[in-house]
Chains A and B, each alone.
Chain A
């Protein structure tokens, strides 16, 4: 009887479990950060990070836990994010110039005063928010490249491997992303120039 209940795939051992825990401890924060850059909010980032590791666990017997898995994990996050957008029927992108529709009417986005005190501007948490908003205005593939290159500091070659695209694609996506961000981040830039 015991034989008939034996699963065809190898069972998880205590050693597997311990290795998985090490892997979670090593990568979970990086995965969360990149998920946050993609989704722009904590709840979705947490959900995506969890789901990414569930996928790792499901594929456990096909991976080498000692190999560098960042690229694979980031690809999973990217795919999960695209699934999330599909489930919500289309990306929720907002133009920074258009008023935001809210329950109590339209809200015009506040822009940074270019003459504001630079130190205050830099320290202000709104800078973070504005950067994240500007990122969310990019297409997901551009957003991932710019997040990996400019926020996480990966080299082009590493990004190309992670995203499984030619290095020329990384180069052109990053350039397009930066040009799109240039205008959106102009108010912050004006403050810095006065520094």
Chain B
């Protein structure tokens, strides 16, 4: 790194009075003979002056209230508000529900399938028999009465009462 480069990187600190005295002397010696570093220093000084023109943004009037309200609200949502045994119990209950639900549901579905399948079989048999013009409708009615079905085009049973 050339001297000029090294000095150039110290110019901001020089401008801010943040350099140790021995470095200040070195920078000043260099500035006396380096027009490009003098120009750089002027640029930096001007940039800082412009930045200092920025007005301080005004905080909203209700900022403190907003902060206190939000911090107060969070207080009840943080862990200390909820006793640990209750949290543990809730977690165990949730785990039990998550494991048991599919098991129970599978069992219930199997029971329902066993109940429904004869029904479906009889429905198919009755529907194919009903298409036969020589089939005795009384026989069909007898078969279907067990399955709680009604024949296509027939009034629902019991509606004539």
Contacts and interface: CB of A to CB of B under 8 A. Distances in A.
Contacts of B50: 127, 131, 185, 188-189, 192
Given A29-B63, A32-B59, A182-B47, A132 B68 contact: no
Given A7-B81, A8-B84, A178-B44, A131 B74 contact: no
Interface in A139-170: 146, 149-151, 155-156
B60 A46 contact: yes
Interface string A1-40: 0001111110110000000110011001100110011000
A79 interface: no
B59 A8 contact: no
Contact of A182 (B44, B53, B68, B79): B44
Interface residues of A, number: 53
B80 A9 contact: yes
Q: Is the interface of B mostly helix, strand, loop or mixed?
A: helix
Given A7-B81, A12-B75, A181-B51, A46 B63 contact: yes
Nearest to A45: B57
Q: Is the interface of A mostly helix, strand, loop or mixed?
A: helix
Interface of A: 4-9, 11-12, 20-21, 24-25, 28-29, 32-33, 36-37, 42, 45-46, 49-51, 53-54, 56-58, 122, 127-128, 131-132, 146, 149-151, 155-156, 171-172, 174-175, 178-179, 181-182, 185, 188-189, 192-193
Given A7-B79, A57-B71, 7 more contacts: A4-B83, A21-B68, A24-B68, A32-B59, A32-B63, A57-B75, A182-B47
